[in-house]
Structure 1
Amino acid sequence: MAKAAGEETEELDHRVKRVKCDSENNGGETLLCGFQTSSVLSDSAREKTIFIHGKLDDQDAVVILEKTPIREDTLTDLFTGSRLKLEMRNDIYSTYWLQAPPHLNEIKTTVVCPATEKHVKKYQRQESFLVEESGTDYESITLPYIQRQSFSVQWVYNILEKKAEAERITYEDPDPEVGFVLLPDFKWDQKQVNDLYLIAIVHKRNIRSLRDLTSEHIPLLQNIFQRGKEAILKNFNLPASKLRVYLHYQPSYYHLHVHFTKLGYEAPGCGVERAHLLADVIQNLQSDPKYYKTRTLYFPLRADDGLLGKFKEAGRL
């Protein structure tokens, strides 16, 4: 998980649950056995994901299914415990369908329930457009739109206040000015470092996005950059030279956060049209204290995004 600014910013109210439809879940997370499919919103053969709209306990729901990567530490079990069915053989080449043992054949599942119309649209396959936003455009178009929408980030405050996901926090600096919490993104199953994905969420609550950053925030950004890399090295044995550390613009939700992903992993939203390397952000602010107040920025928006409509109304697209 390119994503839209408008739909995505509501970011699920954190009523997101990973579930398995088996006996392990009795008395636990919501079961999917009663999920009734309405439509496939989108799918990706490359990323091996599918987004499904339907009903769960008579409520609208979106279910996201994602095949997990093959891990090196499971290869022995995979080769010794699987069954092969021959599909084709030609000279030295042969292809098979491999049926892996159940414990190696899990599908990562995310459930959004109850899902709003915005959630459904968020995951629906749509055309995207690249928006050019000047500093003036931000003040006159984007900022008023954000303020009118009043996108909730209560789920972020729940994390910061330890009311939710406290057990998932990898590292925390509690300082109110330069502190942050570091925890795994829901897109990472934490079973291997090849697709490592963590999020640093700042404690300060008055920074919405890249546009709010000035030179006064450099100590905060440097602290996240340094402490975050140190925590990942300590906990996952992954050096800084193998990390991609960046911010999104537009962001997924309007509370400043920083993405840490493994360099070789093509995480959603890591493309040049949306991702801004944290090292570059720091240097830009060192050169110009109000760099992101005036800089023209580019970002993708989906066809049904309300913000895109505002740019069209203003004749900026």
Structure 2
Amino acid sequence: MEGTGDLLNKKRKLENSDEIVDKCPPVLKNFKDFNINKVIAENPRCKTATIHGQIAGEDAVVLLEKTAFDASHLGNYLSELTTLNNTLKNDIYGTYDAFPPLIENAIRATVIHPATEKHIKKYTDQPCYVVHETPELYTNITLPLIISKQFSIQWVYNILGKKKEADRIVFEDPDPEQGFVLLPDMKWDCKDTRSLYLVAIVHKHEVKSLRDLTADSLPLLNNILHKGLDAIKERFGVPSSQVHVYLHYQPSYYHLHVHFAHVQCEAPGMGADRAHMLIDVIDNIQIASNFYQRKTLTFTVREEDDLYKKYKDSGYFDKS
């Protein structure tokens, strides 16, 4: 069985690998060639649906989301341009299905293509289970899986190298040790600041998640916190008192990144089982440099996740 040293060596090789080839598929103009396989997730409250299908014979995942109202366009909805179909009328109360003009009917579509089996599983609704990850469980179960099952994060390197999305960058500190790139998350349309959602991606490659943070990370974390909030206030006029700044554990990809979300934004992963406020992370590390190497961290795993299967095979869930 491989020791931690062997795993860390593999981790470093993975971080420095140049073997991934950037194969960027063409920009879609419509969904004419999209063949639906099945709806793999839907959320009536958030008005979202996720579909698995194929484009040109390759797997694809499409996330559909109703966009927020633009207050400056409300006149287009409340005019003769909108047709109404009455569904209920009782005295002064009436409900209608409203069909606004085409220009107001946009739906945000996020396309992952070609999608791997991991992507399909990631976006499929599944039962969830709670894990209390001790340092020993991290070393023996989580870390080996992270190393062996790492998602391709070439898209992250594309952003850091200005190969993609350079025009979307809100702020950058190019310092290789303490620097980061701040840009809007794909879930935000950059219109309504109440749904503001940005991500800071660090230039440094060695730090993967909360578990790797120590006192040596404090200059980087403080830099992200203060410069990120300053940039958001300058660009979008949103003060720091209205922004949540946090890390996910487990993260969706293992290259350190920090989320900035408006306090009124119902951003995914804001629950106590995943979000760790950056100001608290900094404070904890100031108390003890190895705080996150010693702490038991709680998170949820989904039934089709490889991590769930590893914990299940270890007998972890048999104890609950």
Fold conserved between structures, TM > 0.5: yes
Change beyond 3 A, Cα 1:15–1:199: farther
State the alpha-carbon separation in 2 of the partners of residues 261 and 156 from structure 1.
Answer: 20
Q: Higher relative contact order at CA 8 Å, sep ≥6: structure 1 or structure 2?
A: 1
Task: Please show how residues 218-257 of structure 1 align to structure 2 within 5 Å.
Answer: 218-257=218-257
- Residues 4-43 of structure 1 aligned to structure 2 (within 5 Å): 28-43=27-42
How far residue 314 of structure 1 moved from its aligned partner, in angstroms, is 2.5
Partner of 2:4: none
Residue 111 of structure 2 aligns with an amino acid whose one-letter code is V
Per-residue deviation at 1:94? 0.7
Corresponding residue for 2:12?
none
CA distance in 1, matches of 2:95, 2:141: 55
Q: Distance in 2 between matches of 1:72 and 1:282?
A: 38
Q: Which moved more, 1:190-199 or 1:201-210?
A: 190-199
Deviation of the 1:31 alpha carbon: 2.5
Q: 1:184 and 1:151 mapped to 2: Cα distance?
A: 21
Corresponding residue number in structure 2 for 1:91: 91
Is residue 2:62 matched to residue 1:63?
yes
Describe the SS at the equivalent of 1:211: helix
Question: What's the offset of the Cα at 1:15?
Answer: 7.9
Give, in angstroms, the shift of residue 163 of structure 1. Answer: 1.0
- What is residue 211 of structure 1 aligned with on the other side? 211
For 1:207, what is the secondary structure of its paired residue?
A: coil
CA offset at residue 28 of structure 1?
A: 4.9
Q: How far apart, CA to CA, are the structure 2 residues paired with 1:71 and 1:212?
A: 41
Contact 1:67 1:108 (C-alpha < 8 Å) held by counterparts: yes
Question: Match for 1:74: what amino acid?
Answer: H
Quote the residue 2:181 is aligned against: 181
- Unmatched segments (≥5 aa) in structure 2: 1-20
Is the CA contact (8 Å cut-off) linking 2:41 and 2:51 kept in structure 1? yes
Contact residue 188 and residue 196 of structure 2 kept, 8 A:
yes
Q: Distance in 1 between matches of 2:198 and 2:29?
A: 25
Letter in 1 for 2:115: A
Letter of the aligned partner of 2:90 in structure 1? N
Contact 2:121 2:305 (8 Å CA) reproduced = no
| Percent of aligned pairs sharing the same letter | 49
Matched residue, 2:10: none
Structure 2 vs 1, CA of residues 147 and 105 (structure 1 numbering), >3 Å: closer, same or farther?
same
Q: CA deviation at 1:309?
A: 1.8
d(CA) in 2 for partners of 1:231 and 1:251? 24
Partners of 1:238 and 1:73 in 2: CA distance: 19
Secondary structure, counterpart of 2:273 in structure 1: coil
- Which structure 1 residue ranges, 5 or more long, are not aligned? 1-12, 18-26
Deviation, structure 1 residue 315? 2.8
Q: After the TM superposition, which residues 1-317 of structure 1 pair with which residues of structure 2 at under 5 Å, given as runs?
A: 28-80=27-79, 81-317=81-317
Indicate how the Cα distance of structure 1 residues 14 and 259 shifts in structure 2: closer, same or farther if over 3 A, else same.
Answer: farther
Shift of 1:276: 0.2
How many aligned residue pairs are there? 296
Letter in 1 for 2:190: Q
Task: Tell me the distance in 1 between the aligned counterparts of 2:239 and 2:174.
Answer: 24
